Homo-oligomer: A and B are copies of this chain.
Amino acid sequence: MRRVLRMTGRGESTIDALLQPLYRTWAARPIPVRATILAAMGQIELHLSAVHASAGPAGDGVDAAIAEAREVIGRDVFSDDGAALEAVVGRLLTARGWRVSVAESCTGGLVAERITSVPGVSRYFDQSVVTYSNAAKTGWLGISEALLAEHGAVSAPVARAMAAGIRERTGAEAGLGVTGIAGPDGGTPDKPVGTVAIAVALPDGTSSRVLRFLGDRTQIRFQSSQAVLDLLRRSLER
């Protein structure tokens, strides 16, 4: 018996520290539950397994351990059945009968690509835009040049305007906006490479975050996509 808990939002060391007391409990059980943490970009996996020495798989202990870990980690857990974040988001959208559209800058299509990697996505996704330049943000999304000039393209107000703009333009209930500096060029002292603003616009309001990621262009782009999908997940689970 083996199960995987997937989570995002906190670092590996924080998660590991939170789980330490559980590791000791699990190891002391008659059928010990073994735990392994795997950290990838923007995602942490807790692999739990237990094997009864004489009688083969011992599922109950693993299921109980999954529940205990969920209790400790809380809302950072996004799946306990192997589902990827984009699939979890798809289920939440389907449950509400909502659609999602994306306006992406630095991720260049990655968020839409991840959303549409899930079979059956046409139930909740029909269109998206990549607005890489300022002119594209103005042209496709109606973002004013004044807003871009005042805050810069990589800012919470512009991410919020992108999310609200794509939502309005497409009629989708959920609009996502991502704008950032994926590097290697384009960083400034104020906004170094890895600075990313994300926003989620829903019928009841808009949430946004400005984040700073480490890594190369690929890693910054992936973490940005993970962050905006996770902000959508948390907003839909509320």
| Complex alpha-carbon distance, A41 and B131, angstroms | 29
Residues of B within 8 A of A131 (CB): 126-127
Determine if A113 is an interface residue (Cβ-Cβ < 8 Å): yes
Residues of B within 8 A of A128 (CB): 108-109, 129-130, 132
| Complex alpha-carbon distance, A32 and B172, angstroms | 61
Q: Which of A59-67, A69-77, A115-123, A204-212 contacts B (4 or more CB under 8 A)?
A: A115-123
- Which A residues form the contact surface with B (CB < 8 A)? 102, 104, 107-113, 115-117, 119-122, 125-133, 135-136, 139-140, 170, 183-185, 217-218, 221
Residues of B within 8 A of A139 (CB): 127
- Between-chain CB contacts (< 8 Å), 21 pairs: A104-B109, A108-B112, A108-B113, A108-B116, A108-B117, A108-B125, A109-B109, A109-B112, A109-B113, A109-B130, A113-B113, A116-B132, A121-B132, A125-B132, A126-B132, A126-B133, A126-B135, A128-B129, A128-B130, A128-B132, A129-B129
Min distance, Cβ A15 to any Cβ of chain B, angstroms: 29
Residues of B within 8 A of A122 (CB): 132-133
Min distance, Cβ A218 to any Cβ of chain B, angstroms: 7
| Complex alpha-carbon distance, A31 and B41, angstroms | 44
Min distance, Cβ A141 to any Cβ of chain B, angstroms: 10
